[in-house]
Amino acid sequence: QLQLQESGPGLVRPSETLSLTCTVSGDSISRNTHFWAWIRQPPGKGLEWIGSINHSGNTYYKPSLKGRVTISIDTSKNQFFLRLNSVTAADTAMYYCARELGGAADFWGRGTLVTVSS
């Protein structure tokens, strides 16, 4: 059974960089034809797709986050990563990683709460 697990700091200072890791187990990222996504949900609000990457490193991002976000992948470690620069309080959210194709995310991590605060 495919499993995903988010990890990273739970507190980030304003203007700094948010960095998260998603570790995939139960299958190899490099054998998988799906994309690997980051999705976030501010407290009490709806879901927001951030971006996705495939095993070849092809990425696509939410247009309004382009320039601040980078998603990368390390197939040797079966991990993919999120970096979000110049964070503000508006970036406070539960961050999920997921496997997706065409927007259909069938496996999700449990999520990790990231708070932006000084």
Query: Measured from the CB of residue 9, what is the shortest distance to another protein in angstroms?
Result: 20
**CB burial readout 1-33, b (16+ within 10 A) else e:** eeebebeeeeebeeeeebbbbbebeeeebeebe
- Contact residues for another protein, defined by CB under 8 A: 37, 46-49, 51-52, 60-64, 96, 100, 102-106, 108-111
- CB closer to another protein, 74 vs 106: 106
- CB closer to another protein, 21 vs 94: 94
φ, ψ dihedrals at 103, nearest 5°:
85, -5
CA separation for the pair 17, 82 (Å, rounded): 10
Query: Measured from the CB of residue 22, what is the shortest distance to another protein in angstroms?
Result: 13
CB atoms under 10 Å from CB of 99, counted, come to: 22
Query: Measured from the CB of residue 35, what is the shortest distance to another protein in angstroms?
Result: 9
- CB closer to another protein, 90 vs 118: 90
